[in-house]
Copies of this chain bind each other. A is one copy, B any other.
Amino acid sequence: MTSRNVSCFPEARKVAIFGGTHGNEMSGVMLVNMWKKNGAEIQRNGMVTKPFITNPRAVEKCTRYIDTDLNRAFTPENLSGPWDEGLPYEVQRAKEINQMFGPKGSPDAYDVIFDLHNTTSNMGSTLILESSTDHFNLQMVHYIKKSIAPASCAVLLNEHPHLKYSTSRSVAKHPIGLEVGPQPQGVLRSNIFESMRDILKHALDFIELFNTGVEFPPCAVDVFKVIERVDYPRDANGNITAMVHPHLQDCDWEPLNPGDPMFQTFDGRAVPYQGSSPVYPTFINEAAYYEKQQAFVITRREMLAATAIRKSI
C-alpha cells in the first residue's frame, strides 16, 4: 500500500474546539459556550469533541487578553518552565492547557484542536495551517473547501521561521485555526457565527469519515503562504502617520501589484507598494495588530500537494 504513497495516521479520537483564545472574538466564544451547554451538534461516532474556553478571564472582561497574548504563549520556555503564581495569567493558562490537551509534542496530546478566531479584516472564512507537510490537515481543509462550495474559504499557511508564533492549538498533533471576519471585537454577527459553525460541522464530518476507514485520494490545496509583515508608516515616536489606503482596505486575498497604493498619509499622500511582483495581502487593518506593528501580512499563492491518507491499521 505504501507504494501508492498513502500516508497513514492513527484514528483521531480526541478533538477539542477552543474558543476565547482572544476574549473579545465573539463567534468562537458564543459557539463554544453554546456547545458546552448542548454538544449534540458536535458529537460524532467514536470521537470525543471537547468545547473549551481557553482564556475565561479575558472572555469575562471582553478583552483580547489580561497580561499577554495567549496565542503567543505556548513557547517551549513557557511550557517547560517552573510554575509560579507570579507568572502572567496567560502563561499560567498555557501551562494548564498544555497539561489538559498535550503535552505538546507527546503521544498523549489531543489529535486535533480547532481554535476559533475572528478578525476585523475582510478575510471571509480562513483556515490557518502551521505546516505544509501535515497531510491529514491538508486533506481536511481540502474536504472543507469542497463541502462548503459555492461558499469559499481561504487557507493561510504560516510556517515562516520568524513570523510563525506559538499558538494555543499548537498543543495538538494537528492544529488548525479558523479565522472568520469581518467582525468587530466585542460584536457577534449572525453571518459570521453561522459560517464558523458550518465549517466546524464539515471538519468534524471529515474526521468521522477518516476514522471509519475512508481513504482520501491525493489532492492539491491552494494556499496563501505568509512571507512578510508590513507595518504602518510611523513617526519618530512610533505613532502611525498613515492609514490603510481605501484601495487596499477590505481587499484581503486580492493581488497587490507593484505601484498600487498601500497607505494614505494624514495629509493625503498615497504610499505605493514597491515590491517587484504581485503579492496577496491579508489581515488588512486587523485591530489587534496595531500593537504588533503590523498593518497587514503579505502572502504568496502556492499549490500544496497532499498525499492520499487513511487511518493506520
Contact = CB atoms under 8 A, between A and B. Distances in A.
Interface of A: 30, 33-34, 62-63, 120, 182, 184-191, 193, 239-240, 243-246, 249, 264, 266, 285-288, 290-291
A117 to B, nearest CB: 14
Given A120-B186, A185-B287, A190-B243, 4 more contacts: A62-B290, A185-B185, A190-B246, A193-B243
A30 B240 CA distance: 9
A287 B184 contact: yes
Given A30-B266, A34-B266, A266-B34, A287 B186 contact: yes
A169 B191 CA distance: 36
Given A193-B243, A243-B193, A187 B120 contact: yes
A180 B182 CA distance: 18
A190 B30 CA distance: 31
A239 B288 CA distance: 25
Nearest to A31: B266
A264 B246 CA distance: 33
B186 A246 contact: no
A190 B249 contact: yes
A186 B290 contact: yes
14 contacts: A30-B240, A30-B266, A120-B184, A120-B186, A182-B184, A184-B184, A184-B287, A185-B186, A185-B287, A186-B290, A187-B285, A187-B286, A189-B285, A191-B246
A189 B287 contact: no
A229 to B, nearest CB: 17
A291 B240 CA distance: 31
A24 to B, nearest CB: 8
A240 B186 CA distance: 13
A186 B22 CA distance: 15
Nearest to A190: B243
Contact of A187 (B187, B287, B291): B287
Interface centre among A182, A189, A243, A244 (most CB of B within 10 A): A243
Given A30-B266, A193-B243, A288 B186 contact: yes
Interface centre among A62, A190, A245 (most CB of B within 10 A): A190
Contacts of A287: 184-187
Contacts of A266: 30, 34
A150 to B, nearest CB: 18
Contacts of A239: 33
Contacts of A120: 184, 186-187
A243 B185 contact: no
A264 B191 CA distance: 11
Nearest to A61: B63
Nearest to A33: B239
Contacts of A264: 190
B63 A189 contact: no
A38 to B, nearest CB: 9
